[in-house]
Chain A
Amino acid sequence: MTTVATPARYATVRGWVAASARSIAPHFPIETFIARNPVAGYETLDHEEAMRRIAHDHGVLLTPSEERFRALHTDGRIPLADLVAALHQLVPEARSPHPIVADEFVTTATEVLLQDLLVSPPRAATSTALPTPASGLSPRVHARVDDLTSRWLTALFGDAAWSTPTRGEGMWDAWRRLAALDPTLPRRVRAGIRSTPAEPAAAIDVALEHWGLEGDGAEEFIRAHILAQPGWSALVRHTAAESRSLDLVSLVAIRATLERLLLPAGATLPVGAPSTGRDEEARLSAVATALRADLTVPDVRAALGRILSLTDAYTRLSIWQEAYERRTARALAPASAPVLRTLEETPRPLAQAIFCIDTRSESFRRHLEAAGPVETLGFAGFFAVPISFRPADGAPGVASCPVLLTPRVAVSESSVERDALGRWRRHRTAIAERGRAAHALGESTLAPYAFAETAGWFFGAASVARTLAPRLWSSVRTGMRRAKPTTRVDADVVFSLDERVLYAETALRMMGLVDGFAPIVLVCGHGASVTNNPFASGLQCGACGGHEGEPNARAAATIFNDPATRDALAERGITIPDDTLFVAAQMDTVTDEVTLLEPWAIPASHEMRVLELTRHLETARQANAADRLAGLPGADRDGDAVRETLRRSSDWAEAFPEWGLMGNAAFIVGPRAITAGVDLGRRAFLHSYEAAADPDGTGLETILTAPLVVAQWINAQYAASTVAPDRFGAGPKPLHNVVGTTGVLSGFGGDLRIGLPWQSVGVGRHAHHEPVRLQVFVQAPLARINEIVDESEVVRNLVVNRWITLRAREHDTARWMRFGRYGWETDDLDTTPVTGMPVGDHETTTKENRS
């Protein structure tokens, strides 16, 4: 086969690369680590079909294995009733109550498919990713291509002080120039590199021509190379959006060229083994044996075959996953309130505290409400102010908003205490410079020896102190720091009045806080104090782009306290009383400490109330720290909980400073009253919402198209890192080898690790996180939700393609409805027996059918 090499042909090759790139989501550098579904590109497909494609492309399952599900069924984690309910949910034909009679054999579709779930040969848990020619012809060459590519990319993205390989050239140009000089490559390969085309798409085309690939085969070849090392590809994909000198076309060209030149000249593509149909025969036989059916009777064989054709191995996994999630949904679904109840007038609370929807806020809110007369609300932690933030210390500005958004304005922090600010800034700069110098010395080739001779005594002693007494070390360091002068942020200046009013009204209506304001409204962002953790940004606020929520809390409080904004809000029907003060704060999710961010801005009129609130915050801290420690590995549960959290925060050897969002499973949109007082175990994102405060539904649309999307990204990443840790997880922390600011390797080389470290989802060999899809509960008019699902493709894809499960109800007295294949349907999470399903265990059922 010969294709004509033209610009249009190269364009097609580039198009194939761009299309294939969707197989792996971009990887954000660890400095701004953002949780994201690594296979988000498959979300346009139904979840089951996506599982099939992902198994084909990536060689992994997107769910636990069938063996694991069966073990969970045996242990009682997946009750039979849930399994049958899931079967009926996904295979409507199984709902038929009519018996199937074949000769003397009597059964039902439910029974046959249930036995299929329980006894059929399971789908292999893992196989290999989409094969490249080399992986079939010579695994050694395939490994060599991986190794050479990995070394090249490590040099490109790392920050070695002694090497700058690209000199500003494009990736492909630099590789052609330098790889042709690589003495570790055979002379024939180097000569081949020298004669490669200057255009990387042309180099890919040479490889396609060499292997005789065209059309779908060509695209699959390119996808195989992209997915051979998905971590590096994901990073290049992210970087390519910002730098035109790095792109996936060059990466595929490098891999395809190395592979073509390293393999023997006459190598041809291996032929895949044809399917023998043995799997289906084994399946039929297993089910027949379980049902004690005689397969030698043609009618029986035909009947069983016909029923089994309704599903395949991936449908079974899909049913198991659905069954697995039902108990989680049952546990987290807000209960129905009684229709008849006494309505009592509640006194004005001391404070209302707005926390991020982050699952970690759930338990703190619960303990704070128990500690004193404080109402709590949930809202995305950027508090509706999409900003970039320029801190007072002169550090570069950061985008402090969800990655879904582009910052609208730059908010700056400044101080009128110019001298104090100058001294503090110089002090901060000096600390940063010292750190950079020490790092550069450590990375250079010879300087570390001299550095160790001269400064080793100090750093050695410091290391011993940090290891043996981390809290003391941290206290000493903190004590040596110069105090920060009082500062303010200029959000009330950089946002126009119209913008301030828009964002303030949006936030208040979205969370249903339009009246009944308390004297204090705490706007509480969150951050995490950790030491020696490359994934620290993964513990910060996701709604703030992987940064602390402090700037947004301060900006939002400034806007809410702005008199002009309040006047305009009053004209729009939201009257904030004159005695209501918005106070910015930040919660440390490792130590549970809540810090008021601008104590100097609190007027004397509110001092006593704030003092009382801080006492309640301290009580909540003690309770929440004890609550969280009960589930953390290696915790001293009998000691002082707060002291233990402080140690975890400052200990550079601590692999579990906190659990992050481990366990996340639900997203609940509704008034706090429907979840108040219920221990949800930090498993739910809680977004406050009152349909009555959002008459046109735009607030709900914003919730479902933004916070819900981010929550699903987080949920999908935790699940993927749990079920496929080798493919979509970052591996164990002790093996991490940091590459610049971009990511980690496991040990010396290999692929860049994407996803979460194992210590974010599991302990030892056991996963702690339950890989369930996000269970979404929305209390709002169903018609309003329908409109949003219809109009928003992102929400429609997630719901209709079953990447999330959406349940809704109009009022707290109603039962939850589920958005199913045919629209809204009743979803009895308590799972009562349905006609056509077996009663009791399947052994009993089998006997009944035989009699």
Chain B
Amino acid sequence: MSTSDLTPMTKIEVVVASDDVAEVSALMQSLGARGYTAITGVAGVGHHGHRGGRLLFNDHDTLTLLVSVVAPDKADGIISGIRPVLDRASGVMFVSPTAVSRPDYFA
């Protein structure tokens, strides 16, 4: 299978506080995302300096990376919905083109 056999999609990656995951994931799903992957305890360095990874006794204040792949026509809606949330809370969003082999899983 070559990349030309794949179906173009849009990948939306959002890093938010774990406390906000339920709200953001509900928002994504209400706007047409069929699913998402959550990677908890992510770490890195950004606008607010260093952000630690996993905490032993606090799942609430770590960061989670939510990854969702949607049909390009749904991406604008999800981006519009998430932006006001990121205006009020710390977090980042990355949007990029991607391709999938099973488009019916995501459309």
Interface residues, chain A, with chain B CB atoms under 8 Å away: 7-12, 14-16, 18-19, 21-22, 41, 44, 219, 240-241, 244, 247, 249, 380, 384, 386, 402-406, 506, 698, 701-702, 705-707, 709, 790-794
Contact = CB atoms under 8 A, between A and B. Distances in A.
Given A18-B27, A44-B90, 20 more contacts: A7-B31, A8-B76, A12-B81, A14-B27, A18-B24, A19-B85, A240-B23, A241-B23, A241-B26, A404-B59, A405-B60, A705-B55, A705-B58, A706-B57, A706-B58, A709-B58, A790-B49, A792-B52, A793-B90, A794-B58
B85 A247 contact: no
B49 to A, nearest CB: 7
Given A18-B24, A44-B89, A12 B80 contact: yes
A240 B27 CA distance: 11
B13 interface: no
Interface of B: 17, 22-24, 26-27, 29-32, 48-52, 55-61, 74, 76-85, 87-90
Nearest first, the 7 closest Cβ-Cβ pairs linking A and B are A15-B84, A11-B81, A706-B57, A794-B61, A11-B77, A241-B22, A15-B81
A793 B91 CA distance: 12
Contacts of B49: 790
B51 A18 contact: no
B30 A14 contact: yes
Contacts of A21: 23
25 contacts: A8-B80, A12-B84, A15-B80, A15-B81, A15-B84, A18-B24, A18-B27, A19-B87, A241-B22, A244-B29, A384-B57, A404-B59, A404-B61, A405-B59, A506-B56, A702-B55, A705-B57, A705-B58, A706-B55, A706-B58, A707-B57, A709-B61, A790-B49, A793-B48, A794-B58
B27 A15 contact: yes
Chain A CB within 10 A, most for which of B24, B55, B89: B55
A688 to B, nearest CB: 16
B88 to A, nearest CB: 4
B84 A18 contact: yes
Contacts of A405: 57-60
Nearest to B61: A794
Given A241-B23, A244-B26, A706-B56, A790 B61 contact: no
A404 B85 CA distance: 22
Interface centre among A12, A18, A386 (most CB of B within 10 A): A18
A15 B85 contact: yes
Nearest to B73: A7
A41 B55 CA distance: 21
Contacts of B83: 12, 15
A19 B83 CA distance: 9
A247 B26 CA distance: 10
A810 to B, nearest CB: 23
Contacts of A793: 17, 48, 51-52, 61, 90
A380 B56 CA distance: 13
A52 to B, nearest CB: 16
A736 to B, nearest CB: 29
A11 B31 contact: yes
Nearest to B55: A705
Contacts of A241: 22-23, 26
Nearest to B22: A241
Contacts of A794: 58, 61
Contacts of B85: 15, 18-19
Interface class of chain B by DSSP: helix
Contacts of A44: 89-90
Given A14-B27, A793-B51, A404 B80 contact: no
Contacts of B58: 402, 404-405, 705-706, 709, 794
A210 B32 CA distance: 27
Q: A9, A247, A792: which has the most chain B beta carbons within 10 Å?
A: A792
Classify the secondary structure of A's interface with B: helix
Contacts of B24: 18
A516 B5 CA distance: 68
A359 B101 CA distance: 58
Nearest to B82: A15
A713 to B, nearest CB: 10
A701 B56 CA distance: 9
A8 B77 contact: yes
Contact of A10 (B51, B59, B74, B77): B77
A405 B59 CA distance: 5
Contact of A792 (B32, B57, B61): B61
A14 B90 contact: no
Given A790-B49, A791-B52, A19 B84 contact: yes
Contacts of B78: 11
A22 B32 CA distance: 23
A249 B51 CA distance: 31
A405 B56 CA distance: 9
Contacts of B80: 8-9, 11-12, 15
A240 B81 contact: no
A515 to B, nearest CB: 23
Q: Which of A7, A44, A244, A403 has the most CB of B within 10 A?
A: A7
Contacts of B77: 7-8, 10-11
Contacts of A791: 50-52
Contacts of B57: 380, 384, 386, 402, 404-405, 702, 705-707
Contacts of A240: 22-23, 26
Contacts of B17: 793
Which of B24, B48, B56, B59 has the most chain A CB atoms inside 10 A of its CB?
B56
A705 B85 CA distance: 24
A508 to B, nearest CB: 14
Given A241-B23, A506-B56, A790 B50 contact: yes
Contacts of A14: 27, 30-31, 81
Contacts of B22: 240-241
B77 to A, nearest CB: 4
A241 B27 CA distance: 11
A18 B76 CA distance: 17
A18 B22 CA distance: 11
A15 B52 CA distance: 27
A124 B51 CA distance: 40
A18 B52 contact: no
Contacts of B32: 7
Contacts of A792: 52, 55, 61
Contacts of B31: 7, 11, 14
B91 to A, nearest CB: 11
B26 A705 contact: no
Nearest to A6: B77
B98 to A, nearest CB: 20
Contacts of A402: 57-58
B93 to A, nearest CB: 12
Most buried by A among B26, B60, B82, B84: B84
Contacts of A705: 55, 57-58, 61
A380 B49 CA distance: 30
B39 to A, nearest CB: 15
A698 B52 CA distance: 12
B74 to A, nearest CB: 8
A797 B107 CA distance: 40
B60 A22 contact: no
Given A7-B31, A22-B89, A702-B55, A219 B60 contact: no
B22 to A, nearest CB: 4
A794 B60 CA distance: 10
A519 B65 CA distance: 48
Contacts of A790: 49-50
Nearest to A707: B57
Nearest to A7: B77
Contacts of A10: 77
Contacts of A219: 84
B5 to A, nearest CB: 29
A404 B60 contact: yes
A816 to B, nearest CB: 26
A819 B59 CA distance: 26
